Amino acid sequence: GQSPFQATTSCHVVSVFSLQLFWVCAYCTSICRQSSARVDEPMTMFLWTLCTSPSVLRPIVLSFELERKPSKIVPLEPPRLQRFQCGELPFLTHVNPRLRLSCLSIRESEYSSSLGILASSC
């Protein structure tokens, strides 16, 4: 069989739409049930601040492979217009049909690495 399609792209994380945390019991190491959090809770505020910071929203280099051949993605749908909301900011963008990608690696881009050097020298 043929090897799966693999590619590397430079991209930029612009928003975190979902974050899921699992709490592990220190005594029995079982995963605790997920519950909801209020917006005004300190942990929620910390995670929101972290997910909107330049430490998370930055350029990265992503390597991935296609889980199945493009010819087996049936039917080929046209892009659709979709609305996203991030806090107070609405985003409207064309979204292509979903492809099943497996992440092979995520690296810091050279551009953002050089920004870190500049920031740390200030």
- H helix or E strand, kind and range, residue 90: strand 89-95
The residue ranges of every structural domain in the chain are 6-120
Report pLDDT digits (tens) over 55-99. 888 888 989 888 765 555 555 678 888 888 877 888 888 888 777
* CB burial readout 25-59, b (16+ within 10 A) else e: eeeeeeeeeeeeeeeeeeeeeeeeeebeeeeeebe
pTM greater than 0.75: no
Q: How many CB atoms lie within 10 A of CB 61?
A: 16
Give me the percent of the chain exceeding a pLDDT of 70: 75
